[in-house]
Structures are given as structure tokens and as C-alpha cells.
């Protein structure tokens, strides 16, 4: 015997055919009249062959095997059987019967789902959305005792890419399944550890059990999401490598890679430190005797070659100034931005030099204490390479975490470590793939038991091994010239 839950899931499908026997079943009537989840479209049919019909006697024995059922279309008198292809006139058809077809009233189903959560004590916040591949994925946002999660109504089998992105965005989501999803999406969602409930279960749960069940789902989906951020890393790397990203989700992909390696990474998001903010920041505690370690980053998605324009110079400078002058920042542990990182695919170095020139002159003009941090161009491919190595040799990296931080900090701060001969200006740092290869080699050859690195000794060591050279061809701007735009 089929359970009531399965029966509801089975009935609530668009186009589901109902025969006249089932038409008046209690459950169907309840879904139709009490819940208003569905309407029934009535349709008239005839059979290609029926003994009551006027054309029965003229049909050969061979043709009588056809069992086609044909829908009667208003005002249509002549039909061709889709099975045996014979021509049929409606006036011959005495035997007719009705069939019913389910039309799901999706609006009412959604309303019921939303109210089920509301009635269980969750506070409805608003409709939320994630945008990827230029498509919007909508969900209802709820909260309860600081648990925040989304409820998404799913009516068809979710595609892999959608689930990948939900993981990448690490949004806690409960899926409520109905229509074909209620019959076939469970295994896919279970395999990827998503939380869900089908409409049949939701309808049949008694009120007191419902609250417990939904609370349990909410708790599980929020705690598991944090773990999922890590498991989504290979997906993020794959999407970035294959450039399956767009303006909307580039930032999130960069965030996931950074967060994986640097726990201090955070997004500015909706915090109200100051009006204009870059995408995020991270901190690295500085090596011995050094004072830098606070980095702000902004992602510039470059689908095709993008140049930095005067509005970019201005925006970057505004970020820096707003941040430096914000009371919340002044009172915090961070006194200044040591580096402003731009993540991007292919920025021309000349643009970066121009940008830094403008930032320095704006800063000279506007601030008592001009900004002296570095402008860092971190190539997307360099970040992918670093994250991939970190992922593949996780254990090795974890055991040498302080070395990793120290080296990364140095590479983000010290021009001496870079050999990009195209750079003619001090203050610009370009993190290339070669830099990352050098850094990884340095980290992995370290004995984990060793003390933290000594910066001076490191630089000496690198020089002696020919990994870096002394400055050549770099103009040092001790006092930047005032260049007005
Ligand atoms: Zn036929």
C-alpha cells in the first residue's frame, strides 16, 4: 500500500492524469478544495476502436488491435489515429469518456510552504536570491534564534551547476520538493548532503511534529554549510580555471579560495564601517620585527581585457581614504592598510603604475599622513595555483602554517622578492605564477619544527640562491610628485 505522503507527492504533478475512478478520492478532493493546491482539467476522449461505435463494423480484424485513446478537440470532426493512422470521424464515436489532468496551483503551494515555516515560529525576513550564470535563484529567507536560512521551493530535478553554486555561496538552504522533484530529486540532494523535505511530508506532519522537524532541518543546514565551503573548493577552482564565471560570482570564488587558506578573510558586505568599501580583507600576523599584515582586496572581473580607468583610480583611493579615516578602523587594531590587492585576470602593469601615481597624489593632497601601502596585482591564475597546491598538500601546508603566512606576507609586501622587470615603480607588487612557485618551494622545504622565519636571513638566502636579485631599474619615489588629475 502506498503511504499518504507518497500519494500526495504523486498527485501534485503538473499534467498528472487522473482517471474517473480516482476523481472523487478523499485525498484528491482535499488537495483540490481544502488546500487549493491543484485544479483538474477535464478532457473528453474516445477510443480508436470501440464496439459501441458506428464505425466498428467496417474495421478489419487486423485494425481492431489498436488501443489508442484520442482527445476530443472542440469543433474538430476529423481525426487521424496516432497509432494506426486510420481516419476517424467524431460523429461515429458513440463511446466517449472523461479524463482529468492535474494543474498545480504553484502560487498556493508556495504560500503554504512559506506559512508552514512562519507558523512554526520562524521569522520571515524577505525574498533572497543568488545570481549566477545570469540566472536568479530565489528563496525565502527566515530566521529563528539567530539561525538564518533560506527555503527554496524546488519543482524539478536540480542541475549540477545550481547545486555547485549554492555550495560555493555557502548559503544554508532547505529545499521543499514538489512535482517531479518530490519523486526524483531526493537521491541527488542526499548525495550532496543538502537538507530537504517533500510536500507530502510537510502536509501530513502534525502541527507539533512539524515545528520540531523544521527546526531540526534549519539547524542541520546551517551548521553543515560551514563545512561545505571547504568541499566546494575543487568546484571553485574548476570554474575559475575554465572561466565559467561572470561578474556576479567572480568575487565569491575569490572569497572561497582566500577563506580556505586564510581564516581571517572576511567580506565587508553590509557592515557599515564606511560608505564605500572594497570586497574584503584579511590579516596575517607579521614576521618578527615587521609591522605589516593588513590587506584589503577588491575583485575586478575581466571577461575580456579590461583597463583601469580614472574612475577606478578614484574608487580605489576613496576606499583607502574612507577606511583609514573611519573611527571604527582607527579604534581597531589595524592602523593602516598595508596593501591594496586587486584580483584580476590580466591587468596591464602600466595601468597599475598610473593608478598608484594617482592614489599617491590624491593622498598627498587630502591626508595629513599620506598612504604608503602597496598596490598589489594578484593574478587570478596565481591564486588558483596557490590554492591548488595548498589543497593537494594540505597536511604539509597545515604543519607549516606560520611559514606560509610569513612568506605570503613577505611576497605581498616586499618588492625585493619579485622579478617582474616590467615594473618600474616602487610600491607596485605583481604576484605572478612564478612568485607562487617560488613561495611554494620555500614553504614545502621548511622543517616544520623550525622557528619562524627571520626576514633578513630569508632575503639573504634567496639572493644567494639566485631566486631574487637586488633592485634594478626601479625608480624609488621617496616623495611622490603631486600629479593632479
Ligand atoms: Zn487506431
Query: Could you write out the three-class secondary structure of 244-305?
Result: CCCHHHHHHHHHHHHHHHCCCCEECCCCCCCCCCCCEEEECCCCCCCCCCEEEEEECCCCCC
User: Distance, CA 57 to ligand 1 centroid (Å)?
Assistant: 14
Instruction: Give me the CATH number covering residue 282.
Output: 3.40.91.30
The values of phi and psi at residue 66, to 5°, are -65, 130
Task: Name residues whose C-beta falls within 8 Å of residue 252's C-beta, 6 or more positions apart in sequence.
Answer: 168, 169
Mark which of 159, 192, 223 sits at the end of a domain: 223
67 alpha carbon to ligand 1 midpoint, in Å? 6
Ligand 1 centroid–CA 22 distance in Å is: 26
Q: pLDDT band at residue 473, thresholds of 50, 70 and 90?
A: very low
Indicate whether 484 belongs to any domain. Answer: no
Residues 6+ apart with CB under 8 A from 282: 258, 262, 264, 265, 266, 295, 297
Burial 31-70 (b: 16+ CB within 10 A, else e): bbeebebbeeeeeeebbbbeeebebeeeeeeeeeebebeb
Can you tell me the mean pLDDT for 457-465?
A: 68
Residue 35 lies in a domain: yes
> How many whole angstroms from 18 Cα to the centroid of ligand 1?
22
Residue 479 lies in a domain: no
Containing domain of residue 81, as a range? 4-105
| Domain assignment present for 146 | yes
Q: Is 254 found in the same domain as 124?
A: no
Same domain flag for 218 and 287: no
Band (334; pLDDT cuts 50, 70, 90): low
Instruction: State the pLDDT at residue 242.
Output: 87
How close is the Cα of 40 to the center of ligand 1, in Å?
A: 27
- The predicted model scores a pTM of 0.75
Is 448 found in the same domain as 324?
yes
Pairwise CA distance, residues 247 & 132, whole Å:
9
- Is position 134 within any domain? yes
Residues 93 and 151 in one domain: no
Does residue 474 register a pLDDT over 50?
A: no
**Statement to judge: residues 303 and 420 lie in one domain:** yes
Confidence category of residue 425, pLDDT binned at 50, 70, 90: confident
Distance 48 CA to ligand 1 centre (A): 5
Residues 340 and 305 in one domain: yes
Contact of 252 with 377, CB cutoff 8 Å: no
Distance in Å, CA 71 to ligand 1 centroid? 13
Q: 3-state class of 155 per DSSP? A: coil
The pLDDT of 141-156, averaged and rounded, is 90
Ligand 1 centroid vs 66 CA: distance in angstroms? 5
For β-strands 17-18 and 96-104, DSSP reports them as antiparallel
Same domain for 354 and 300: yes
46-99 pLDDT, tens digit per residue, is 999 999 998 888 888 877 889 999 999 999 999 999 999 999 999 999 999 999
Categorize the per-residue pLDDT at 267 as very low, low, confident or very high, splitting at 50, 70 and 90: confident
Distance 285 CA to ligand 1 centre (A): 81
Q: What is the mean pLDDT of residues 367-371?
A: 85
Average pLDDT, the chain: 85
**622543517: which residue's cell?**
447
Q: Note whether residue 337 is domain-resident.
A: yes
Q: Which residues contact 363 (CB under 8 A, 6 or more apart)?
A: 317, 320, 321, 370, 371
Ligand 1: centre distance to CA 85 (Å): 6
Number of structural domains found in the chain:
3
266 in the same domain as 127: no
Distance from C-alpha of 380 to C-alpha of 108, rounded to nearest angstrom: 46
Q: Is the dihedral of CA 106, 107, 108, 114 positive or negative?
A: positive
For the cut 50, the answer to whether the pLDDT of residue 240 exceeds it is yes
Containing H/E element for 359?
helix 349-366
Last residue of a domain, one of 47, 72, 105: 105
**What pLDDT sits at residue 472?**
38
Number of helices (H) and strands (E), helices first, in the chain? 18, 17
Q: Are strands 280-283 and 266-267 parallel, antiparallel or unpaired?
A: antiparallel
The torsion angles phi and psi of 160, rounded to 5 degrees, stand at -55, -40
Distance in Å, CA 49 to ligand 1 centroid: 7
> What is each CA distance from 370 to 196, 365, 367, in whole angstroms?
54, 8, 6
**21-25, 63-67, 185-189, 332-336: the lowest-pLDDT one:** 332-336
Find the 320 Cα to ligand 1 centroid distance in Å: 78
Is the CB of residue 102 less than 8 Å from the CB of residue 11?
yes
Q: 477 in a domain, yes or no?
A: no
User: How far apart are alpha carbons 318 and 106 in whole angstroms?
Assistant: 47
**Which residues have their alpha-adjacent CB atom under 5 A from ion ligand 1?**
48, 66, 68, 81, 83-84
- 17 CA → ligand 1 middle, Å: 21
Interval between CA 440 and ligand 1 midpoint (Å): 73
Question: Is pLDDT at 402 greater than 90 in this prediction?
Answer: no
264 and 355: one domain? Answer: yes
Q: Are 375 and 247 part of one and the same domain?
A: yes
CB 140 within 8 A of CB 150: yes
Give the model's pLDDT for residue 194.
92
pLDDT in the model for residue 329: 62
CA of 16 to the centre of ligand 1 (A): 23
**Dist. CA 404 → ligand 1 center (Å):** 76
The residue out of 89, 105, 121 marking a domain boundary is 105
Distance 47 CA to ligand 1 centre (A): 8
pLDDT at 268 over 60: yes
pLDDT at 483: 39
Asked if the model's pLDDT at residue 177 lies above 70, the reply is: yes
Query: Does residue 323 share a domain with residue 270?
Result: yes
How many angstroms does the Cα of residue 23 sit away from the middle of ligand 1?
27
pLDDT tens per residue, range 113-143: 999 999 999 999 999 888 777 778 899 999 9
Centre of ligand 1 from the C-alpha of residue 75, in Å: 21
How many whole angstroms from 94 Cα to the centroid of ligand 1? Answer: 16
Q: How far is the CA of 81 from the centre of ligand 1 (A)?
A: 5
Apex 262 CA angle, 259 and 263, nearest 5: 70
CA of 80 to the centre of ligand 1 (A): 8
Largest CA distance in the chain: 107
| Ligand 1 centroid, distance to 99 Cα (angstroms) | 19
The pLDDT > 70 percentage for the chain reads: 87
User: What distance in angstroms lies between residue 421's CA and the mean position of ligand 1's atoms?
Assistant: 81
Ligand 1 centroid from CA 98, angstroms:
18
What is the distance in A from the centroid of ligand 1 to the CA of 41?
24
Assess if residue 474 is contained within a domain.
no
383 φψ region: left (φ > 0), alpha (ψ -120 to 50), beta (else): alpha
Rama region for 380: left / alpha / beta (φ>0; ψ in -120 to 50; rest): alpha
Q: How far is the CA of 101 from the centre of ligand 1 (A)?
A: 22
Helix, strand, coil percent values for the chain (each to nearest 5): 45, 20, 35
Identify any residues that bridge with 79 across adjacent strands, giving them in sequence order: 88
Same domain, 150 and 292: no
Say if residues 444 and 398 touch (Cβ distance below 8 Å): no
The domain that holds 189 is classified in CATH as 3.40.1350
In the DSSP assignment, the letter for residue 475 is: B
Amino acid at each position: 500500500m502506498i503511504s499518504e505522503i507518497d500519494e500526495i507527492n504523486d498527485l501534485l504533478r503538473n499534467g498528472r492524469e487522473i482517471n474517473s475512478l480516482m476523481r472523487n478520492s478523499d485525498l484528491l478532493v482535499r488537495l483540490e478544495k481544502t488546500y487549493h493546491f491543484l485544479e483538474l482539467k477535464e478532457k473528453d476522449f474516445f477510443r480508436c476502436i470501440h464496439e459501441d461505435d458506428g464505425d466498428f463494423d467496417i474495421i478489419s480484424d487486423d485494425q481492431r488491435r489498436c488501443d489508442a485513446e484520442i482527445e476530443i478537440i472542440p469543433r474538430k470532426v476529423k481525426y487521424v489515429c496516432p497509432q494506426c493512422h486510420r481516419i476517424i470521424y467524431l460523429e461515429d464515436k458513440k463511446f466517449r469518456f472523461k479524463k482529468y489532468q492535474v494543474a498545480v496551483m504553484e502560487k498556493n503551494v508556495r504560500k503554504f510552504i512559506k506559512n508552514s515555516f512562519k507558523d512554526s515560529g520562524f521569522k520571515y525576513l524577505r525574498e533572497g536570491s543568488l545570481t549566477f550564470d545570469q540566472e536568479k535563484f530565489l528563496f525565502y529567507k527566515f530566521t529563528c534564534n539567530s539561525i538564518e536560512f533560506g527555503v527554496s521551493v524546488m519543482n524539478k530535478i536540480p542541475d549540477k551547476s545550481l547545486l555547485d553554486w549554492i555550495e560555493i555561496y555557502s548559503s544554508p538552504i532547505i529545499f521543499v520538493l514538489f512535482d517531479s522533484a518530490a519523486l526524483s530529486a531526493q537521491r541527488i540532494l542526499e548525495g550532496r548532503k543538502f537538507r530537504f523535505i517533500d510536500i507530502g511530508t510537510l502536509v501530513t506532519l502534525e502541527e507539533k511534529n512539524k515545528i520540531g522537524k523544521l527546526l531540526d532541518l534549519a539547524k542541520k543546514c546551517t551548521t553543515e554549510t560551514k563545512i561545505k565551503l571547504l568541499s566546494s573548493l575543487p568546484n571553485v577552482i574548476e570554474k575559475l580555471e575554465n572561466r565559467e564565471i561572470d561578474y556576479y560570482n567572480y568575487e565569491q570564488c575569490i572569497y572561497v579560495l582566500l577563506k580556505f587558506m586564510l581564516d581571517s578573510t572576511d567580506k565587508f558586505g553590509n557592515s557599515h564601517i564606511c560608505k564605500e568599501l572594497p570586497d574584503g580583507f584579511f590579516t596575517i600576523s607579521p614576521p618578527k620585527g615587521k609591522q605589516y599584515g593588513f590587506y584589503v582586496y577588491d575583485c575586478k572581473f575581466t571577461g575580456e581585457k579590461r583597463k583601469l580607468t580614472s574612475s577606478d583610480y578614484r574608487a580605489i583611493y576613496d576606499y583607502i581614504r574612507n577606511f583609514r579615516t573611519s573611527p571604527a578602523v582607527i579604534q581597531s587594531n589595524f592602523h593602516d592598510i598595508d596593501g591594496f590587492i586587486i584580483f584580476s585576470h590580466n591587468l596591464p602593469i602600466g595601468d597599475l603604475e598610473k593608478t598608484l601615481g594617482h592614489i599617491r597624489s590624491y593622498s598627498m593632497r587630502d591626508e595629513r599622513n599620506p598612504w604608503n601601502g602597496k598596490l598589489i596585482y594578484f593574478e587570478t591564475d596565481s591564486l588558483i595555483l596557490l590554492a591548488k597546491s595548498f589543497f593537494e598538500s594540505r597536511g604539509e601546508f597545515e604543519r607549516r602554517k606560520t611559514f606560509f603566512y610569513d612568506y605570503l606576507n613577505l611576497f605581498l609586501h616586499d618588492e625585493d622578492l619579485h622579478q617582474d622587470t616590467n615594473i618600474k615603480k616602487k610600491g607596485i607588487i605583481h604576484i605572478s605564477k612564478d612568485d607562487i612557485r617560488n613561495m611554494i618551494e620555500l614553504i614545502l622545504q621548511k622543517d616544520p619544527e623550525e622557528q619562524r622565519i627571520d626576514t633578513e636571513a630569508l632575503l639573504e638566502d634567496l639572493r644567494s640562491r639566485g631566486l631574487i636579485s637586488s633592485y634594478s631599474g626601479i625608480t624609488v619615489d621617496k616623495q611622490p610628485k603631486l600629479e593632479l588629475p
